[in-house]
Structure formats: structure tokens, C-alpha cells
Structure 1
Amino acid sequence: MLTIALLLASLQIGPTPGLEKGFGDWEVACDNVKACEMTSLIREDADWPEDGPLNVSIAREAGAAAGFTVTIDTGQAKGPVTVKIDGVELVRATPAKGGLRFAGVEAGRIVEAMANGADLRVEHGGKVLLSVPLSGSSAALRFIDAEQGRAGTVTAAVAKGIKPVSAVPGVVAAPRVVALRASGKPAVITAALQARMEKLAECEEEERGTSEVTTAALGGGATLALLPCMSGAYNTLLVPFVVRGGTVAVADLDYSNEGSETAPMLTNGWWEADRNVLSSRAKGRGIGDCGEAAEYVWDGRGFRLTELRSMEPCRGSTNWLRRWTARAVFR
């Protein structure tokens, strides 16, 4: 059964991540199963907040029955805070773990006011804790309506119509990826193996920096080897290889935004042994408020994308938006 499953996995079409778009002071994305999220950005002309930006995020799953979830960062605020839009109080609540989270009727009330509002404020102790411009929020909500097939139905946030709930497309399950758990010990990377990797990667020696090759056992006699290829101030690009029986080959990644067709790269890549996951996180700038992050699992032949998140504008959001998801089933 495992051999058949691995064969089917190897024949699957590569991932097609969902869209990310910007509207005014908001960024929005929907993944491959049409789960969508939008998040606030700091104003382009605003000074960087002393304690870092606090964001407001709105999420909605696919399907007719799905409602909104509203998450508001509140930092170190203690005690009750109020959420207002254009001066009208919508809800009062006490933050937990640095934020507020609303669902159901309360979330619906906030989203409805956002669609026609200009400014969302969170007040604490008589002072404004957070002020978020709502320019673009209505367009972002309309984008979610369209992506989830809600436009023209009674479930839409902005693009409302008279079509019934039954007109909304049903929920689509995330693709299933059969994966292997890592085991064993990693192979020793000899000078000859590293020289072979460097030749296959075609990296410029002067750009490689001083980082060493890192390895991790994948099981079945396979070893993951990450070869540093280019190094900058806060990003290191690595070419992934699989070593077996004294031979080395460029690893098969079904998604990569870096490198060439013959040698894909991972930015700041590392192996998470406790999760059996290969991760990467490319930062658009050092503070990490933009970039792309990916996670992969090993299926015995290559690395299959299980999650992709990104944030294109560098405008204060550390809440990168999900554009791809898959369910890993470990054997």
C-alpha cells in the first residue's frame, strides 16, 4: 500500500498557491481551499511604532456556514479595552495573551461596520491603543466574497445579493500528502561529496559565505544536505540535496521561488526533526514584516509543500497570509 501511495504522490500536479492582493491599507490572501484572511498594514507615511505594529486581522473559512473571526493585537495592555469604528463603540473586552479574538455575532458586527467605516480604534484607559485605517478593507472583503463564491448571496460581507445560502460552494478538503518519518543517522559529507554538490549548484564561491553544510537523516538511507549558496545580511540561500549510498542529487521540491530549474533554493532553510518538516523563511527585510515562508514533508522521493505563507508589502505585518495548505499523513 505504501509503495502505491508514494507512486501516486509522485505523479500529482505541483501546488498552485492562492492569490495575495493589496487594497489600500489592507493585504488579503486566500489559499487553495479558499480559506481567506486579510490583515491591516501601517500607513505608508507613518512612523514605526516604538513597540512594533499592532495588527487587525479578519479570517473566514470557505463554505456556507462559515462566519468571520476577528483578531486584534493589543500588546501589553491590561484590563478592558473598547473597539470603535468611526467613534461608535462596537464591543468591550479584556485581552488575553496580547490580543482580542471575536467570532460569531461580535465578529459579524465588527466586519459590517468596517465595510463602510474609515477608522478602527482600540481604546484602553481613555487613550488610543491602536488606530487602523479602513481604506481598502471593503475591497478586501469583496475579494473574499468573490474567491469563496459568496458574491450575490446572502452570506456575502460586501457583495450582497438575494441568492440563498445553498448557492455558496461547499468546503473543499485540503490535498493529502503521504509522508515518511525521519529515522537513522545522517551521512557524513566528505570533501568529494561537497565538491560534487558545489558543482551541481553552480554557486559563486565568493558569495557562499562561511556557513557549513547542514545535514539531517530522512530515513531509508537518505540524508538531506543543505549547501549554502549565497549569503546576505539576513538571508542565506541554500541548495537542498539528497545523499544516498555515497551519491548526491539535487533534491526535488515541488515548489520553490528561488534558484534555477536545475537547482532550486531555500532561503534560511532548516530541518525540524520534531515535526519531520523542512522549513524556509525568506525575509524581505531584517525586521521580518514581509517575505515568504514554506514548509515541506519528505515522501521518499522529494519534498512536498504543505504550507505557504507570504506578505508582499513591507508595511508592518508579521502576520503572513496562508496561500497553500496540504494535510501530511505520516507512514
Structure 2
Amino acid sequence: MLILTTLALAQATPQLGPMKTFGDWVVACDNAKRCEMTSLMPEGGDWSEHGWQLAVTRAAGPAGGWSVELFGHDGPAAGLTLKIDGADGAAWRGHAFNGADAAALVAAMANGKGVTLHDAAGKSIGRISLTGSSASLRFIDAEQGRAGTVSAAVARGSKPASAVPAAPALPVIASVRAAGAPAALSPALLDQLWTQSGCAENYEDEPRPGVERHALGGGATLVLVPCGAGAYNFSTVPYVVRSGTATLAGFDTAPGWGGDEGPPMLVNAGFDAKTGELGSYAKGRGIGDCGSAETWVWDGSRFRLTEARAMGECRGASNWLSVWRARAVSR
């Protein structure tokens, strides 16, 4: 019964987790109730002062703990100290704060107005706004079922941590191991793909770029037909070819580009033959501080979503937030 239930979860259409903006912070939770929040550059801020970012993650479940990471300006520097509202600061050590250190930082953030960063000499080298951080923490409390418990960050109460719901299990997807050689495409089939996709019209005044082919296993071949490029996004239409017949690739969650009447559209697509993962990474602007990214695996009939990350605010955040996760198991 457990196996059947897990497989049923994998077959369901993915329901992406919520994402909200509060002031200078964005927060999101995925389908397993792992929640992340990340700071944004304040409106009118400049990179020299506000180019640093804090990212806060909390795992789901009664024992879910905190992690606090620092991004920007080539990463954390030796001797760097974080101070919240001028109070005695926490010395940055390694990649992230975890455990009690992270919990103490989060507790200070909940009531703070700003974080200042100081170098080894004590000089202020940057500032991170905490406007909206308390609301983001309250959002995490609600999404993880912590409100009213002693484990909440903001919406604290007297109920024990054991009252917090367990973390939902990740869906399990049975994927096909990529194997074999990609099928050859006849000139006639290539012309058919260019015409049916509507991508040929993008190259009427220039040579058509090459078409990518990747073996999916089981006699199937993924074909990525180029369909135009901008300054930093390159679009392709995905097809699956079997026995000389091509059909548009199917997805349990439609790629974010392409309209209801057009074919699915991947952006900056890539296929990893070792993992069998198909990725799409669409940037909202050139510096990559907003957009969406998805990863799928092939189950023999269509592509199934294993990860989705997004950032809806173009305000300096390099840390896109997770809104969906699944676990792929090759068969």
C-alpha cells in the first residue's frame, strides 16, 4: 500500500509551493514544506552597500532546524562580522551558520531593522535590510504548522514542538536511465520539425543552428529544435523521436515559456546524459537575479518535474527559492 501511495503521488500534477514578497525579503516553501527566505536589494539601493544577501532556510517537521547563508561580493571573507541593529555581532565562520548559531541569528532578525557587515578591522562594508524579515518568518511558521508552538520564530505559543506536523514525503519518480545512441534524423524529418514547431521563421535571414539530439533510453531520442535567442535566453522546442516518428515532448508541468496555443518552450536548455536530467533556466534579466529554473527526468512517456526554483523579484537576489522537489529513481 505504501508503494502504491508513493507512486500515486509521483503521478499527480506537481503543485508548486507558495512564494511571497514582504518588504525587502522573498519567502517560499516547497511541497515538502522546506522553506527559504532571501534578502533583496532595497528599492533605490546600490551594489556597493547592498550587494550582500542573507538566505535563511528552515527544514520542516518538529525538529526542523535553521541554516543562514551569506552571498555576494565573492562570498564570506575571513574576519567578517554580522551585527544586527548595532548589537554585538556574530563572527562569520565557513559557508553557513547552522544549529544554535543560526537560531540565534534568526531570533535577532525577527525584531531587527538591519544587518551591518564589518571587516576584520571593524569597518562597515555593507548593509542588509531586515524590512519584511519578520513577516517572512511568520509566513514560515504558518506554512510549517508551527504557529502557536514553542518552535515558531515569530508566532510563538505554548504548544510543544511535537505538535508541529511531520515533513511531507518527497514524491518518488521512476525514471528511465539514459542509454543508447540518439536516432539519426532524415532531412525530411528535420524539415517537419522546423515547420511544425514554427521555429523556422526565426531563421529566414540566417542559417539555421544545429539541432540537439540526446538518447533517452528505450529507443527514444530527445530533439531540441532552436527557436530564437535574445541577449541572454536561448529558446528550444523539445520533441521525442521514436522509430522515425516525432511528437512534441510531454511534461507533467508545462515549461514556463510558450503559450497555451503554442508548443512547450525550454530556455537555455541542457540535458545531462549521466543523470538523465533535462533542465531549463530562464533569466528575467542579464545579471540573473530573477527568473525560473526547472529540472525534469524521463519516465518513458513524458518528462516529470524533480525540481523547480524561482525568483519573482529582480532586486539583486542570486539565490532563487525552491518551490518543488521530487526524488528520481532510475529503473
Q: TM-score, normalised by structure 1?
A: 0.91
Match of 2:148 in 1: 152
Deviations 1:51-101 (A, max 9, x none): x9321010001101112111123636643222110000242234x3xxx41
Equivalent position to 1:215, from 185, 189, 213:
213
Q: Alignment partner of 1:178: what SS? A: strand
Match of 1:238 in 2: 236
What aligned pairs does 1:1-331 form with structure 2 within 5 A after superposition?
12-49=11-48, 53-73=51-71, 75=74, 78-94=77-93, 96=94, 100-124=95-119, 125-203=121-199, 205-206=201-202, 210-255=208-253, 256-261=255-260, 263-331=263-331
Q: Alignment partner of 1:121: what SS? A: strand
CA contact under 8 A between 2:185 and 2:244: conserved in structure 1? no
Task: Describe the shift of the 1:141–1:212 C-alpha distance in structure 2 as closer, same or farther (beyond 3 A).
Answer: same
CA contact under 8 A between 2:85 and 2:115: conserved in structure 1? yes
**Using the alignment, how far apart are the partners of 1:135 and 1:77 within structure 2?**
22
Aligned length: 321
The letter for the 1-side match of 2:300 is G
Structure 1 unpaired stretches of 5+: none
Moved more, 245-254 or 83-92: 83-92
CA contact under 8 A between 1:90 and 1:110: conserved in structure 2? no
Q: How far apart are residue 301 of structure 1 and its match?
A: 0.7
Structure 2 unpaired stretches of 5+: none
Task: Describe the shift of the 1:10–1:164 C-alpha distance in structure 2 as closer, same or farther (beyond 3 A).
Answer: closer
The letter for the 1-side match of 2:32 is V
The letter for the 2-side match of 1:295 is T
Q: How far apart are residue 202 of structure 1 and its match?
A: 3.0
Q: How far apart are residue 221 of structure 1 and its match?
A: 1.2
Once the two structures are aligned, what percentage of the paired residues are identical? 49
CA contact under 8 A between 2:9 and 2:172: conserved in structure 1? no
**Using the alignment, how far apart are the partners of 2:84 and 2:54 within structure 1?**
13
Q: How far apart are residue 174 of structure 1 and its match?
A: 0.4
Deviations 1:270-317 (A, max 9, x none): 111222110110000111111000001111111110000001111111
Q: How far apart are residue 129 of structure 1 and its match?
A: 2.8
RMSD, aligned α-carbons: 2.2
| Structure 1 moving runs of 4+ over 6 Å | none
CA contact under 8 A between 2:67 and 2:99: conserved in structure 1? yes
CA contact under 8 A between 1:175 and 1:327: conserved in structure 2? yes
Task: Describe the shift of the 1:311–1:165 C-alpha distance in structure 2 as closer, same or farther (beyond 3 A).
Answer: same
Moved more, 227-236 or 208-217: 208-217
The letter for the 1-side match of 2:97 is F
**Using the alignment, how far apart are the partners of 1:201 and 1:274 within structure 2?**
28
**Using the alignment, how far apart are the partners of 2:286 and 2:235 within structure 1?**
15
Q: How far apart are residue 115 of structure 1 and its match?
A: 0.7
Q: How far apart are residue 10 of structure 1 and its match?
A: 11
The letter for the 2-side match of 1:264 is P
**Using the alignment, how far apart are the partners of 1:118 and 1:191 within structure 2?**
63
The letter for the 1-side match of 2:218 is G
Moved more, 193-202 or 268-277: 193-202
